[in-house]
Each structure stands twice: as structure tokens, then as C-alpha cells.
Amino acid sequence: MSARCAMPLLIFPCNGNGLEALDCLGDAWRCVGFIDDSPDKQGRSAFGFPVFPRAALEEMPEAKVLAIPGSPVSFGMRRRIIEGLGVAADRFAQVIHPSARISPRAGVGRNVLIMAGVVMTSNAAVGSHVCLLPNTVVHHDAVIGEWTLIGSNVTIAGGARIGRGCYIGSGSSVMNDIRIGEGALVGLGTNVIRDVPPKIRVAGNPARPLAMRSEAQ
């Protein structure tokens, strides 16, 4: 596909995920700029592309949208932030790095970013508004819920279920048939061998609950 035929794409926000998304576009997508809420970024160039306020979403209706906010700190707000854009479901993009290997029997939702080296095998399913960072493997019949962020070099074994709005840190492994509840966080390099309740933060080998920080900290 020539650059002229590539679909125009707006990336929100102008952050680290957005920078990495540029490497995933291949021939299918042509970035026309970033959307960002920070006045300090708007009106400038970032990574060679202009940065616009949200008004550009209406000014460029032909452009698809990839919305990929979130970090270990802010992942719990992803749904509210993305829905706040007011973008119609069919306008969201599905961006998959050319080197990713996605089984024809796997399912991938809207507004999904899949980076280099990711593998999804038969009957794996990734919901909408999900990011999969490089070299992650999602095995057969595993399900990743909407609004979830998955780090790099993560292994999700067969039949595992990751709930909505979770964060799975890089280098982690989730054993087969494990359930991770909605809104849970799994820290870097964690081995999950037991179910994780919703809204819990775990880390370690094997995974153990983390002490919650007090409001004074």
C-alpha cells in the first residue's frame, strides 16, 4: 500500500505510547498528528508531527483515532479519558505492527495497539481499548478485557482471563486458567499462579498483594 493510500490517523495523547505507536503504523496508516490536552504541547511539533487540541477531532473527520493514554499510575482512568473524547466506536483504529503474529482464529477489538513481536494464538481474544507492548504472547483461549494495558515480554497462558481496566507489568507471566479481576495491577516481573481479586495490586514470585500507600504519602 502506498503512502497516498494509507489511512490518516490521529494519535492521542502525545506520550510515550504515542511515540511507540509511530513504529507500528506500517503501510496501512499515515499519522497526521497528535491530539493532546496540554497547552504546552499544542501548536508545536513532536516527533516530526504537529500537536493539536481536541478540536482537531472535528476538523479532520476523515482521520481515524488511536487513543492510548495510561501508565501504571493512571491506568485506572483510561476508560473515562477515552470515552471523554466523544469518538464514535467505528472511528477508532486498530494498529498492529507488521511483525506481530495474530492467528486468524484470534479476535481483536477496536482502538487496539499491538506492538512488534506480539504473538496471539488460536482463539485468543483482546477487547477494545487495549495496548499490547512488544514481544508479549497471548496463548490459546486467553481473554484480555477492555481498557487493559499489557507490558512488554508478558506471557499470558492458555485460558487465562484478564479483567477490564487492568495493568500487567512487563516481564510478568500469568499461569493457564488464572483469573485477574477488573482493575487489578500486576507489577513488573510478577509470576501469577493464583487468581487475583478485582482492584488488587500484586507483585513478586509468586504474586503477593502489595501494601496500599496511605493518603499522607
Secondary structure percentages of the chain, helix, strand, coil, to 5: 10, 30, 60
Burial class of residue 48 (count of CB atoms within 10 Å of its CB; 0-12, 13-18, 19+): exposed
Does the pLDDT of residue 121 top 70, yes or no?
yes
The CA distance from 35 to 191, in Å, is 36
Cell of 8: 490518516
Q: Which of 142, 171, 167, 138 is nearest to 154 (CA)?
A: 171
Domains contained in the chain, CATH given: 7-93 (3.40.50.720)
What is the DSSP-derived secondary structure letter of residue 201? Answer: E
| Residue 206 preceded by cis peptide, ω within 30 | yes
- Taking residues 173-196, report their average pLDDT: 98
Cell of 122: 488460536
pLDDT of residue 3: 54
Does the pLDDT of residue 2 top 70, yes or no?
no
Do 153 and 138 form a contact (C-beta atoms < 8 A)? no
Q: Which residues contact 4 (CB under 8 A, 6 or more apart)?
A: none
Residue-wise pLDDT tens digits, 95-116 = 999 999 999 999 999 999 999 9
Type and span of the H or E element at 123 = none
Question: What percent of the chain clears pLDDT 90, i.e. is strictly above it?
Answer: 94
Does the pLDDT of residue 217 top 60, yes or no?
no
pLDDT, mean over the chain: 95
94: three-class secondary structure by DSSP:
strand
